[in-house]
Amino acid sequence: MGTKIRIIRTGGYILLAAIVCIAAFGFIRGELQIFRPTAMANPQQSGTSEPVTDIPESAEAVLSEGAHGEYAKELANYIGFPYFQKDKIENYINYKSENKEYSYQTIVTYVNIGLDKSYYTDIKEITDPQSISTLVNKYWMIPNHYVPDGLEKISGTGYLLRHEARLAFENMRNDAKELGLSIFPVSSYRSYEYQKSIYDKRAAEKGQSHVDRTSARPGYSEHQLGLAVDVNGVENRLANTKTYTWYSQNAHKYGFIIRYPAGKEHITGYSYEPWHLRYLGEGLAAEVYKSGLTYDEYYIRFLQPGQAAYRVQ
């Protein structure tokens, strides 16, 4: 009888020990997850809390280099996005400390655009301005000498666009005409020299700080790409017309986006321009339109060379 009791007691101890081990293992796993949950939300679903399956290689490298404690916890908020850049870690953290209301996704996006710095600083020269998807803004400059290939006159006008943009614009204009609407160009391709003359004149009249909100400096204008066209007069009242209502909802079907939308001045660096259309091709323009993002944001999140989500053919 005593032997049976001892066996039961021994079995009980073993069972208790197993339960303790399982509990401890679960606690350890919970502690080890400290780097992942909030930081690893799907970067394409802002505001979700679902963790991604894998940390990007760059993030694994960062964690393996000895990040620990509170710094590691903070770092974990940024490394889950495909467009995370290891060399910008301190920029992300510093920009977040100055803009606590921004989500981590917004912080990574804005810093990658360059918005943690003043406009026209840390300038990079565009190496492939002939690409349809080229991003031009106040941090990316077109080479002074660049003149796009394939410039052609929009039929019935003296305004120039690249071949594919010209065809798309004419198709949009013709379809609008059938609906009783009129879309016509008032500005299109501009050379570096012409943009310089426009900018210098306006700066002399109104001051550089004012003009920088409404006009691009030479080398920073999409018009130099031959892929941008201003339509129906450069006045904000255009936004109240039936023509604008139609093309704001349909321009992407022809390959154009409204490049400088309302309420996005802090991202684009320019005041709202309902007249400024940028050609991206039908597929890309539709994606940007559906995203609700500015092209600056979309480019950083999906198109920036080297990103996992790069999709431009």
Q: Please give the positions annotated as active site.
A: 273
Hey, what are 244's tokens?
């604008």
Q: Strand locations in the chain, DSSP E?
A: 124-125, 140-141, 151-153, 160-162, 185-187, 228-231, 256-260, 273-279
Q: List, as one string, the DSSP characters of 230-278.
A: EES-S-GGGGGSHHHHHHHHHGGGGTEEEEE-TT-HHHHSS--EEEEEE
Q: How many residues does the chain have?
A: 313
Using CA atoms, how far apart are residues 286 and 272, in angstroms rounded to an integer?
20
Residue with tokens 């290689």: 57
CB 268 within 8 A of CB 114: no
Given the structure tokens 């991604």, which residue do they identify?
Answer: 52
Q: Tokens standing for 29?
A: 């796993």
Q: Which two tokens stand for residue 218?
A: 């030479």
CA gap 80, 46 in Å, rounded: 12
